[in-house]
């Protein structure tokens, strides 16, 4: 189920695990060992896979997965190389530990105070460090009810992404906030419209020849993922809760991208 960009180029779908603040060293080592054998059994997986664990677990996963095609990502980054920023992790440090991706702008970080301005600085710096960006956007339930979804998404894109960026390194993850961890997912026709809107908005604003890669995130699991199959605009998924078990996660991928 490869997507096709506007230029006719086939894009490999991408499935990303967002572990948030979960898991221990022992659990992640078990995950990595299982996942490595499950992926090796399925050499023809038709999608790219990225795992974004807490920073403390990146090297555990890297030690097991470094020979596989699975990539690692951070869940956020600071916008300077180093400095007096207690508790923060710089994009340079993520690269140093083996990451090639980073999630930026997740609604859980926006909730803790990340503004579009701050997110822009984080993206800018992460791109300088040659990381691929998983840029999260999405509306709250109240905004959806007031029919403000497109307005919110437009603002999040326009006030954060700049024309000068290497846009090929930016993946958008559309995650309606009301859907994250709630078991609720948008209806297919509505989601299709939103995906078209995001792709066109990106193209119009940044005068790109190709459409961006856009993922869906929010309560995706093995039972409901089939509901997304009618939406050809979806280029992959950002999965939270259902990505913590290696078996569940690989089954979702295998069943969807047959
Ligand atoms: P969820 O989380 O799959 O648990 O809803 C997705 C996310 O927050 O990225």
Q: Is the pLDDT of residue 6 over 50?
A: no
What does the pLDDT read at residue 10?
53
CA of 209 to the centre of ligand 1 (A): 30
- DSSP code of 80? S
CA of 220 to the centre of ligand 1 (A): 7
**Contact (Cβ atoms closer than 8 angstroms) between residue 109 and residue 137:** no
**Contact (Cβ atoms closer than 8 angstroms) between residue 73 and residue 103:** yes
Specify the residue with its C-alpha closest to ligand 1, atom 1.
240
**Contact (Cβ atoms closer than 8 angstroms) between residue 12 and residue 215:** no
User: Which are the catalytic amino acids?
Assistant: 106, 175
Task: Please say whether the structural domain 3-256 has been given the CATH code 3.20.20.70.
Answer: yes
Identify the CA nearest to 170 among candidates 199, 139, 213: 213
Ranges of each domain in the chain: 3-256
Specify the residue with its C-alpha closest to ligand 1, atom 2.
240
Q: Which two structure tokens, joined as six digits, stand for 22?
A: 């979960």
pLDDT confidence band for 7 (50 / 70 / 90): very low
Q: Where do the H-state alpha helices sit in 53-167? A: 58-65, 91-96, 107-111, 116-128, 141-145, 149-158
Report pLDDT digits (tens) over 89-118.
Answer: 999 999 999 999 999 999 999 999 999 999
HSE at residue 16, side-chain half, CA atoms within 13 A, is 34
What does the pLDDT read at residue 85?
97
How large is the average pLDDT for residues 37-50?
A: 82
3-state DSSP assignment of residue 50? strand
Nearest ligand 1 atom to the CA of 238 is 9
Q: How far is 254 from 258, CA to CA, in rounded Å?
A: 6
Record the pTM.
Answer: 0.94
How large is the average pLDDT for residues 38-54?
A: 86
Q: Which two structure tokens, joined as six digits, stand for 205?
A: 């604003």
Other Cβ atoms less than 10 A from the Cβ of 95: the count is 17
pLDDT confidence band for 11 (50 / 70 / 90): low
| DSSP annotation string for 191-241 | HHHHHHHHHHHHHHHHT-SSPPEEEEESS--TTTGGGGTT-TT--EEEESG
Show the ligand 1 pocket: residues with CB < 6 angstroms: 18, 175, 180-181, 217-220, 238-241
Identify the CA nearest to 187 among candidates 218, 214, 155: 218
Cα-based distances in Å from 43 to 3, 40, 131, 143: 20, 5, 26, 43
What does the pLDDT read at residue 91?
98
């Amino acid at each position: 189920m490869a997507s096709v960009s506007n230029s006719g180029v086939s894009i490999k779908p991408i499935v990303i695990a967002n572990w948030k603040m979960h898991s221990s060293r022992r659990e992640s080592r078990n995950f990595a060992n299982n996942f490595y054998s499950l992926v090796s059994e399925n050499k023809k997986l038709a999608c790219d896979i990225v795992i974004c664990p807490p920073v403390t677990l990146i090297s555990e996963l890297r030690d097991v997965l470094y020979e596989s095609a699975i990539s690692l990502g951070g869940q956020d980054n600071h916008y300077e190389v180093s400095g007096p920023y207690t508790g923060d992790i710089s994009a340079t440090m993520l690269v140093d530990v083996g990451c090639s991706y980073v999630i930026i702008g997740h609604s859980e970080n926006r909730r803790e105070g990340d503004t579009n301005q701050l997110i822009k600085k984080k993206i800018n710096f992460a791109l300088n460090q040659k990381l691929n960006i998983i840029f999260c956007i999405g509306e709250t339930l109240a905004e959806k009810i007031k029919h403000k979804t497109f307005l919110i998404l437009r603002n999040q894109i326009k006030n954060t992404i700049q024309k000068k960026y290497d846009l090929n390194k930016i993946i958008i993850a559309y995650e309606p906030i009301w859907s994250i961890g709630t078991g609720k997912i948008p209806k297919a026709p509505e989601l299709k419209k939103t995906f078209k809107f995001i792709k066109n908005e990106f193209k119009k604003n940044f005068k790109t020849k190709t459409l961006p890669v856009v993922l869906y995130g929010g309560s995706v699991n093995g039972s409901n993922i089939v509901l997304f199959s009618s939406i050809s605009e979806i280029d992959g998924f950002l999965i939270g809760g259902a990505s913590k078990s290696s078996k569940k996660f690989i089954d979702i991928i295998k069943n969807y991208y047959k």
